[in-house]
Structure 1
């Protein structure tokens, strides 16, 4: 797929550009930025796009921390995000087919 440039906005009005894959359908608006270049206008603010991801990350961490017989001392969850002009933020693979990389750590208890 070809790459396009999409403009995302922050809730405070700040705008920034992101390279995205060209949408298959013309479901987004093309706008001119201050340089005159035409870019895709994202449908959501950046914060709205990230808000859609937060509940999934929260459930993962909560379930991994509390749902184990011996809870881990540390829980690390890595996941890839892809910004699209149409859908905002979506989960994407980190490497190969892996969508989530989870690391659980237990500290060794020292006996007195």
Structure 2
């Protein structure tokens, strides 16, 4: 079941639609309208900090190619949860990354 979760971004509160958490460790908060929302366990920025090591590892490994690409594009899905923060989304039990490498053949040396 979907719920609204309250995340803090740069001192401002935003609402994100999330799945109902499996654990009961998440606090609930009331909006001025009286609607109850989940209170995220960490800020939006802290949740996204979990993405950095993965992105850095991918880029670092791709820079180690014998002929490094001129452009690198990496796409992956991220899901926000009120209790865990950011997690990589999966389809069919597997996490997928889409990586595009581009080389500029018109380089002059």
TM, length-normalised to structure 2:
0.88
Asked if 1:86 corresponds to 2:83, the answer is yes
| C-alpha distance 110-17 of structure 1, shift in aligned 2 (>3 A) | closer
d(CA) in 2 for partners of 1:108, 1:25? 53
Residue 71 of structure 2 is aligned to residue 74 of structure 1: yes
Q: 1:50 aligns with which of 35, 48, 51?
A: 48
Question: How far apart are residue 63 of structure 1 and its match?
Answer: 1.3
Segment of structure 1 superposing worse, 101-110 or 19-28:
101-110
Separation of aligned partners in 2, 1:22 and 1:32: 16
Query: Unpaired runs of 5+ in structure 2?
Result: none
Give the aligned CA root-mean-square deviation in angstroms: 1.8
TM-score for both structures, normalised by structure 1: 0.86
Where 1:47 maps in the other structure, the secondary structure is helix
Count of residue pairs the alignment pairs up: 107
Instruction: Work out the CA distance in 2 between the residues paired with 1:27 and 1:58.
Output: 31
Q: Which runs of 5+ in 1 are unaligned?
A: none
